[in-house]
Structure 1
Amino acid sequence: MRRTRSRSPLRHPRIGRWGDASESSGSWESRGPKGHTLRRMTTSETSRYVRLRVELVIEVDDSGALTGAALERIAADEFMPDDERTHAQSAVREEEAEALAYLVDPFDLVSEVPGIELAQASWSCEQIDYDPDSADWELDMDEDEIDGYEAGPDGYPVLEDGRGAEGEGDDDTGRWP
């Protein structure tokens, strides 16, 4: 089950009005020999939004306690309509992952962090086969390595020919000055 909270990013004046000029798009012909037609964004103009990705593997060692806590949370939710409550209770009784989804709230993870406001959160729970010795579960693996790219000195993937991810740019590094 995926549980989502969101607030429209269009309410934010900068995101609602301008595209992201930091991304490369279009062909070289459409950009012309001088590169992008938009000016580069300064640090103060870049997006203030940050995506935090967290992946947890949780071992359920007391299914009854987990299910009971989720059923209590559902029963205490005064804003949940009765038909949704019945469906939620049934789902929680059938699957531990559903029970966990009702108990975990990403807002709780960041609510005490100073200087931020949660703009959107989504999370899901699913039962999985877990082998801690499997290479699939190595926590320190760099995403660029997984995709088959090596990260360059600036953190962007570098292809074998030394150019950027799409072979763009006007110099030998494949990056725009």
Structure 2
Amino acid sequence: MRLQVELVLEITDDTELTTAALEQIQGDDQLPDAERDRSREAVRRDESEALAYLVDPFDLVNGVPGVDLVQASWNSAHIEYDPDDEEWEFFDDEAEDEDEPVAGDEPGA
């Protein structure tokens, strides 16, 4: 099953975000030193990189009964967002199989 989630976040304190990401990188015992240096530089250069270090999709489903996360990918990027703009939509790609019902869309529901 594929669960697609899209979030729009407002960075209210880029220094706090960057500091938290740098602390997480520093505390990651699995990260080789060369990768740690590259990660620090990326986080200092771009808040979206900092956010990517702090958001973990595994946390979204951790503890959900009957579910094991098999694979996850995510990214973060700066966007122009206007909630009042009717042209702005989530998920710019179409559903892969539009014939499959979505929860709540079953016939008779």
Alignment TM-score, normalising by the size of structure 1: 0.51
Q: Which of the residues 71, 74, 81 maps onto 1:130?
A: 81
> What is the Cα deviation at residue 137 of structure 1?
3.1
Give identity over the alignment, percent.
55
User: Any residues of structure 2 matched to 1:1-177 within 5 Å, and which?
Assistant: 50-138=1-89, 155=101
Which secondary structure does the structure 1 equivalent of 2:74 belong to?
strand
TM-score by length of 2: 0.81
Going by fraction, where is strand more abundant, 1 or 2? 1
Q: Distance in 1 between matches of 2:49 and 2:76?
A: 7
Report the count of equivalent residues: 96
1:138, CA displacement in angstroms?
4.4
Q: Which has the larger radius of gyration?
A: 1
Counterpart of 1:108, as a letter, is D
Unmatched 5+ stretches in structure 2: 102-109
> CA-atom RMSD, angstroms?
1.8
- Summarize deviations over 1:142-175 as a string: whole Å, max 9, x none: x57xxxxxx78x75xxxxxxxxxxxxxxxxxxxx
Write the distance in 1 (CA, Å) between the matches of 2:51 and 2:84. 25
State the 1:92 CA deviation: 0.2
